Amino acid sequence: MTPTESVTFYDQHPFDWAPADDSTEMKSVVSPLLAEFINKLDENSLVLDIGCGPGRVLGFLARRRIRCIGLDRSRVSLGLAIQRYSRPGVVGDNLHLPFLEGAADAIISDGVIHHTEDPFAAFTENFRILKPGGQMYLAVYKPSGRYPALYRFPGGFIRWALNHSWARPLVTLLFQVPYFLVHFVRSKGKRTWPGARNLFYDYFVTPRVAFLPRQLVEEWCAQRQGRILQYDENRGQNVHSFIVAKEPAEEQIRLNKMDAKNLAEEVRRNA
């Protein structure tokens, strides 16, 4: 899968299902840990929402009058975000962020890096642009729960069928219609067909998904001198979330010195 194909996917199916002006529903779709993270932010913080999509979280930040910038690889998604919430935005790639090192007080990465070609590189880029002492909210797909199996099947069949014009009506009839009805009932009539279709595509058709265990994220944090402050398993949900702090500059220098000392000792031992 090339980056261009992935752009096309979220351009055609932005992660957009809730009416932008429905604040009750917006609140209910921001996880409790993210809501807590946002509520603790200083008004003067600069928050970068990397992979902001059509701005679900930017809207939440905008209501709190927090300075924020959205970035997304999908021009269509970003366009929706800017139009709705009048916040600045950049079309860009999480793997090569167009921001200076230490530019952000806080980073939000909600359901994004697991869609990139290299989740660790995306994580590292987020960390690079976070200022020492800053914090990142990170939500990624977890390997437990039913979603990994559902993405394989029926997801595998759905992706196959959508590539064959004669089989597409089967997807609509067998999967999309029931999916819409369930969501329509659960949302008490709020879910529209286009909204449910976008969710359906994000769930079953999105071309690239990685399931990232907690231990792996912990290892990444250790490698990048990050410290996990909070973890939420989000029982019953597809993603788990982390709040990670980037060690302050002095602590980084200390850790780098320790790394250098350990390395020197290892070299001596092996000599």
Ligand X SMILES: C[S@@+](CC[C@H](N)C(=O)[O-])C[C@H]1O[C@@H](n2cnc3c(N)ncnc32)[C@H](O)[C@@H]1O
Residue 266 tokens read as 């290892």
- Rule CB under 6 A: choose which of 41, 47, 77, 107 binds ligand X: 77
Chosen residue from 18, 37, 38, 51 binding ligand X by CB under 6 A: 51
Give the residue, chosen from 13, 73, 142, 183, that forms a contact with ligand X under the rule CB under 6 A.
73
**H/E segment holding residue 140:** strand 130-141
6 vs 241, beta carbon nearer ligand X: 6
Give the nearer residue to ligand X in terms of CB position, either 46 or 170. Answer: 46
Are 234 and 145 contacting, i.e. CB atoms less than 8 angstroms apart? no
Distance from chain centroid for Cα 76: 17
Residue nearest to ligand X (CB): 53
Stretch that binds ligand X, among 108-116, 167-175, 186-194, 212-220 (CB under 6 A): 108-116
- For residue 34, the surrounding DSSP H or E stretch is helix 32-40
Count of positions on this chain that bind ligand X (CB under 6 A)? 21
| String marking each residue 83-102 x if it binds ligand X according to CB under 6 A | ----------xxx-------
* 155 sits near ligand X (criterion: CB under 6 A): no
Contact 179, 200 (CB under 8 A): yes
Does the footprint of ligand X cover residue 53 (CB under 6 A)? yes
CA 140/CA 113 separation, integer angstroms = 7
Told to check if 10 binds ligand X by CB under 6 A, we report yes
What does the alpha-carbon distance between residue 55 and residue 45 come to, in Å, rounded to a whole number? 18
Closest to 108 in 3D by CA, of 247, 252, 244 = 244
The distance of Cα 20 from the centroid of its chain, to the nearest Å, equals 19
Does 110 bind ligand X (CB under 6 A)? Our answer is yes
Contact 60, 38 (CB under 8 A): yes
Q: In this chain, which stretch among 111-119, 160-168, 229-237, 252-260 interacts with ligand X, using CB under 6 A?
A: 111-119
Q: Which residues bind ligand X (CB under 6 A)?
A: 6, 10, 15, 51-53, 56-57, 72-74, 77, 93-95, 110-112, 115-116, 202
